[in-house]
Amino acid sequence: MQILKEKDALKKQIGAFKNEGLKIGFVPTMGALHDGHLSLIKAALSVSDRVIVSIFVNPTQFDNLQDLEKYPRTLDEDISRISEISKDVLIFSPPAAEVYGGDITSQVFYFDGLEHQMEGKYRKGHFNGVGTIVKKLFELVEPDKAFFGEKDYQQLQIIRKMVAKEGLNVEVIGCPTDREASGLARSSRNERLDPVARQNAALLYKMLQKARENFGTKSATDIISWVSEELQANPDLKLEYFEIANADTLESIGEKENGQRYRAFIAAYSGDIRLIDNIALN
Ligand code: AMP
């Protein structure tokens, strides 16, 4: 397993891959890898000659310093998890100064309004941080294909928008959300839930499934009020938002329109742990 921490060494290796005409698949992560991340790496391995996984806890996408400090850093375990599926993955795990130099700030992006919806309302500056790091990593890695999870669907759409607006030459591939047996979407944060809270958190996915079942027959307003009532009756989970939105523009639904794709999105707290999930409705 090749593990690089320096940009120059990475660029040299990428140059060698390109000279050999190899197709590069790229999976950006913040580490603390779980089966969801591994599903992205497997998808990348299945269609690429070489796969690069970055493991970098990106400071500019955190709106809360405590959150950044508490974020789990488990590089040794991450390396062994990746080596269980392939020993042929290149891991890029740089220190912040290597990526940002002395200037740990975000570029300001305009994602045509995608950045103002849902997560953008509750996590100020988050998507500028995400755009900044992904653009820097794309410039370094020059991937043919890059793999992102639908678990963070708004992020996936924002990356697609950035690639289109900045004219970057990379194909963005969205991968399905990997779930625990209960239905709870896998997340590094699930490790911080105690067993009862973890089981209860599966309610979020149940709500999304119910929303999908009812989407054909009930209005969005009815579904939204039903979900918020159900969650209010549950003392373990505190709803931050539940929205039904156009899957492309992420704008909240008014009237359902023919030919449009819709998704439901949910964010809720279990104690101080923030969980998000989403589902396609049609
Ligand atoms: P993160 O390390 O949280 O920044 O996530 C790295 C990548 O893994 C992102 O593209 C996420 O959307 C993706 N990801 C995280 N959790 C899951 C999951 N449960 N299923 C599929 N992809 C996921």
Nearest atom of ligand 1 to the alpha carbon of 58 = 4
Nearest atom of ligand 1 to the alpha carbon of 33 = 2
The one catalytic residue among 34, 37, 116, 126: 37
Confidence (pLDDT) at 40: 98
CA 217 to ligand 1 center in whole angstroms: 32
Nearest atom of ligand 1 to the alpha carbon of 186 = 19
Confidence (pLDDT) at 257: 87
Residue 85, token pair as written in the block: 């599926």
Counting ligand 1 atoms within 8 A of each CB, the residue from 34, 56, 151 with the most, and so the one to mutate, is 151
**Element (DSSP H or E) covering residue 43:** helix 35-47
**Ramachandran category for residue 195: left, alpha or beta (phi over 0 → left; psi -120 to 50 → alpha):** alpha
* 183 part of a folded domain: no
Confidence (pLDDT) at 216: 92
Residue 28 burial (C-beta neighbours within 10 Å; 0-12, 13-18, 19+): buried
pLDDT below 70 — which residues of the chain?
A: none
Same domain, 47 and 152: yes
Same domain, 120 and 197: no
Q: Which residue, 175, 208, 234, sits at the end of a domain? A: 175
**The residue type at 145:** K
What whole-number distance in Å separates Cα of residue 134 and Cα of residue 143? 11
Tally of domains in the chain:
2
CA 3 to ligand 1 center in whole angstroms: 21
Say if residues 167 and 47 touch (Cβ distance below 8 Å).
no
Same domain, 168 and 193: no
Contacts of 197 (CB under 8 A, 6+ apart): 236, 270, 271, 273
Show the domain range for 10.
2-175
Counting ligand 1 atoms within 8 A of each CB, the residue from 42, 58, 152 with the most, and so the one to mutate, is 152
* 6 part of a folded domain: yes
Confidence (pLDDT) at 275: 97
Same domain, 87 and 224: no
Which residue, 238, 244, 240, 239, is CA-closest to 265?
244
Helix (H, G, I), strand (E, B) or coil at 22: coil
Same domain, 128 and 261: no
- Ligand 1: residues with CB < 6 A are 29-30, 36-37, 39-40, 148-149, 151-152, 175, 177-178, 185-187
CA 57 to ligand 1 center in whole angstroms: 13
Strands lying side by side in the sheet with 89-92: 2-4, 89-92, 50-55, 24-29, 145-149, 171-175
Confidence (pLDDT) at 152: 98
Same domain, 32 and 170: yes
CA 237 to ligand 1 center in whole angstroms: 22
* 203 part of a folded domain: yes
Q: Which residue, 175, 207, 230, sits at the end of a domain? A: 175
Same domain, 140 and 66: yes
∠ CA 203-183-240, nearest 5°, is 40
3-state helix, strand, coil in the chain (%, to 5): 45, 20, 35
Which residue, 114, 120, 67, 72, is CA-closest to 240?
120
Q: What is the 3-state secondary structure (H, E, C) of 206-264?
A: HHHHHHHHHHCCCCHHHHHHHHHHHHHCCCCCEEEEEEEEECCCCCECCCCCCCCCEEE
CA 234 to ligand 1 center in whole angstroms: 27
Same domain, 204 and 160: no
4-to-8, 30, 98, 130 alpha-carbon distances in Å? 9, 15, 11, 22
Buried b (16+ CB within 10 A) or exposed e, 73-92: eeeeebbebbeeeeeebbbb
Domain with residue 223: its CATH number is 3.30.1300.10
Helix (H, G, I), strand (E, B) or coil at 195: helix
**Which residue's alpha carbon is nearest to atom 6 within ligand 1?**
29
Same domain, 132 and 208: no
Q: What is the pTM of this model?
A: 0.97
Same domain, 144 and 212: no
What whole-number distance in Å separates Cα of residue 175 and Cα of residue 170? 16
Nearest atom of ligand 1 to the alpha carbon of 147 = 10
Confidence (pLDDT) at 277: 98
Task: Say whether 37 is catalytic.
Answer: yes
Confidence (pLDDT) at 164: 98
**Which residue's alpha carbon is nearest to atom 13 within ligand 1?**
149
**Which residue's alpha carbon is nearest to atom 10 within ligand 1?**
148
Q: How many H-runs (helices) and E-runs (strands) does the chain carry?
A: 11, 9
**Which residue's alpha carbon is nearest to atom 7 within ligand 1?**
29
What whole-number distance in Å separates Cα of residue 230 and Cα of residue 52? 42
Q: In DSSP terms, which residues pair with 252 in a beta bridge?
A: 245
